[in-house]
Structure 1
């Protein structure tokens, strides 16, 4: 998926699929942040607590050996290219 397509899909209310380098626990937090209704998204205090809990799990929640850097782009630059 290109960066421009990702931006388009997010603007249409779609969410990105779970990346292969991301655990289910971390993706669950990500999904909550993308709730269509902004008031249903977790406040920063909940995010901080949830992420702190993941850190304390002593397990890798981002598996860099499954990370494909070619799938990611600088969305800031891509957004400028939209104009």
Structure 2
């Protein structure tokens, strides 16, 4: 079961809710995926990271905690961009 999907595509971290669940499980699923993406070098770092998609407050905090040290600024928006 995937409770939360995370994909870095064309410079935007695209996120979305998967299977219905509670925030505690979503955070547990989000954390290792973000760590995997950082370790693999998928995030090159830099001045600015855009996050696109629905995000709960607990997931936003986890994401900011994991990514703030490699990006100068993080922006989150929920407008679907077709690229």
TM-score normalised per structure 2: 0.31
| Structure number having the greater helix percentage | 1
Select the structure of larger CA radius of gyration: 1
| Structure number having the greater strand percentage | 2
TM-score normalised per structure 1: 0.31
Q: Which structure carries more relative contact order (alpha carbon 8 Å, separation 6+)? A: 1
